[in-house]
C-alpha cells in the first residue's frame, strides 16, 4: 500500500495544523492533552452552525470561521471566563472547494491571534448535506466567580453592552429586505464582537449573551432567577444605522438574534464597578430596565408607558 495520507488528513495538515496550539500534539493524535490552570474552574460551551440556518451559503468562509469561534467566545465572556482552547468538528460536502477551507482557516487564525486561543483537536468528515460546524470551547475562571443565568435579585438593574438589533437587521440586509449603505449592519451580522475581557465576575449577579433575541434571552434569566423583568424600549441602545431603519424595525431589534452583546443583572451597589470595568475596556454599557419579584415574565414598555405587544418572543434555531 502507499504511504501517502488520504485527502482528509492532507487537508487537516495543510489548513488546520497551523491553528493548533499546545496540547494539540499538532493534531497528530486522537485526542488533545491539557493541564488545567491550577486552582481554576473550567467553563465549557458548544455551539453548532449549519449552512442555510446560521450562515448563508455565499458568506465568505473566513467570516464563517470567525463567527463560529466568536459565538463561543461570547458565551465564555458572558460567564466571566478566560478562553483557553477549542475543539471543532467540520462536516463538508465532497465538492467543497479547497479555497473554502483556506478561507475558513484564515478567519480562525486571525481571531485566534486576536483573542488568544488555539485549536486543540477535532474531526473532519464529509456530509451529503450543507456544511455543518460544531465548536466546543474551554475557558477558565476563579472558583466561584462564574456568572450564571440564575442569581439575579429583585431590584437588580438590567444592563446590556454595545447596541442591540444590528445583527438581526444585518440578516435582513443579507436577505435583501433592508438597505445598508455603509455595510455596518451586515458586518455586525457576520462578525459578532464577543465582549471577552469585561470583568463581570465581581459585578454581575447573573448574565448571558444575547444570541436568540433580547426579549427571549432576558426571559431565560427571569426563569432561571425566578423574577419578572421590565425593560424600557426607549432605553435599549440602538446604533445610528438601526435608528435610521425606522420604528418599523424596533421589534426586530428587540426580538431578533445574533447580537452577541452581554445581558447582565447588576445590583445598584455594583453599578459603579460595572461602569469602571466597562470604561477600562472601552465597552459601552446601558441600563435598560430592572428585575422585580413576580412571575418570570418580560414586559417591554414603550415611551408612553404602555406595554409593547410583541408578536415574536425571539429566535429559535429549532
Contact 257, 200 (CB under 8 A): no
Helix pair 98-115, 61-78: axis angle to 10 deg: 30
Contact 258, 170 (CB under 8 A): yes
Tell me which residues in 159-198 interact with its own copies (CB under 8 A): none
Contact call for residue 296 and its own copies (CB under 8 A): yes
Tell me which residues in 1-30 interact with its own copies (CB under 8 A): 1-3, 6-9, 11, 25, 28-30
Return the number of the residue (77 or 178) whose C-beta is nearest its own copies.
Answer: 77
Return the number of the residue (72 or 241) whose C-beta is nearest its own copies.
Answer: 72
Contact 168, 256 (CB under 8 A): yes
Q: How far apart are CA 23 and CA 13, in angstroms?
A: 16
Q: How far apart are CA 17 and CA 4, in angstroms?
A: 17
Within 182-226, strands assigned E span 206-209
Q: How far apart are CA 87 and CA 45, in angstroms?
A: 11
Return the number of the residue (178 or 218) whose C-beta is nearest its own copies.
Answer: 218
Contact call for residue 98 and its own copies (CB under 8 A): no
Minimum CB–partner distance for residue 179 and its own copies (Å): 28
Contact call for residue 210 and its own copies (CB under 8 A): no
Contact call for residue 143 and its own copies (CB under 8 A): yes
Return the number of the residue (150 or 275) whose C-beta is nearest its own copies.
Answer: 150
Contact call for residue 88 and its own copies (CB under 8 A): yes
Contact call for residue 314 and its own copies (CB under 8 A): yes
Tell me which residues in 28-57 interact with its own copies (CB under 8 A): 28-36, 41-50, 52-54
- With CB under 8 A as the contact rule, the residue among 56, 142, 191, 224 that binds its own copies is 224
Q: How far apart are CA 195 and CA 140, in angstroms?
A: 15
Return the number of the residue (200 or 208) whose C-beta is nearest its own copies.
Answer: 208
Closest of 151, 145, 26, 33 to residue 82, by C-alpha: 145
Amino acid at each position: 500500500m502507499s504511504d501517502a495520507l488520504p485527502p482528509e488528513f492532507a487537508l487537516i495538515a495543510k489548513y488546520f495544523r497551523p491553528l493548533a496550539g499546545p496540547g494539540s500534539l499538532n493534531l497528530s493524535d486522537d485526542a488533545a492533552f491539557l493541564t488545567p490552570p491550577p486552582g481554576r474552574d473550567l467553563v465549557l460551551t458548544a455551539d453548532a452552525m449549519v449552512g442555510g440556518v446560521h450562515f448563508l451559503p455565499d458568506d465568505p468562509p473566513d467570516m464563517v470561521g470567525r463567527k463560529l469561534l466568536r459565538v463561543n467566545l461570547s458565551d465564555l465572556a458572558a460567564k466571566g471566563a478566560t478562553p483557553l482552547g477549542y475543539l471543532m468538528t467540520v462536516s463538508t460536502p465532497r465538492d467543497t472547494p479547497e479555497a473554502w477551507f483556506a478561507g475558513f482557516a484564515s478567519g480562525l487564525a486571525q481571531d485566534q491571534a486576536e483573542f488568544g486561543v488555539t485549536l486543540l483537536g477535532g474531526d473532519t468528515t464529509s456530509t451529503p448535506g450543507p456544511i455543518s460546524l460544531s465548536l466546543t470551547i474551554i475557558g477558565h475562571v476563579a472558583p466561584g466567580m462564574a456568572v450564571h443565568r440564575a442569581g439575579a435579585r429583585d431590584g437588580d438593574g438590567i444592563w446590556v453592552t454595545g447596541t442591540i438589533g444590528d445583527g438581526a437587521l444585518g440578516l435582513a440586509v443579507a436577505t435583501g429586505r433592508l438597505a445598508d449603505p455603509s455595510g455596518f449592519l451586515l458586518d455586525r451580522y457576520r462578525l459578532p464582537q464577543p465582549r471577552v475581557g469585561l470583568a463581570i465576575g465581581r459585578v454581575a449577579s447573573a448574565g448571558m449573551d444575547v444570541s436568540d433575541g433580547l426579549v427571549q434571552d432576558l426571559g431565560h434569566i427571569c426563569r432561571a432567577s425566578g423574577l419578572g423583568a421590565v425593560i424600557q424600549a426607549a432605553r435599549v441602545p440602538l446604533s445610528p444605522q438601526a435608528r435610521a431603519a425606522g420604528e418599523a424595525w424596533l421589534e426586530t431589534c428587540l426580538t431578533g438574534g445574533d447580537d452577541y452583546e452581554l445581558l447582565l443583572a447588576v445590583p445598584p451597589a455594583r453599578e459603579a464597578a460595572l461602569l469602571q470595568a466597562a470604561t477600562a475596556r472601552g465597552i459601552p454599557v446601558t441600563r435598560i430596565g430592572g428585575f422585580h419579584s413576580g412571575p418570570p415574565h418580560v414586559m417591554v414598555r414603550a415611551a408612553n408607558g404602555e406595554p409593547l405587544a410583541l408578536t415574536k418572543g425571539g429566535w429559535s434555531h429549532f
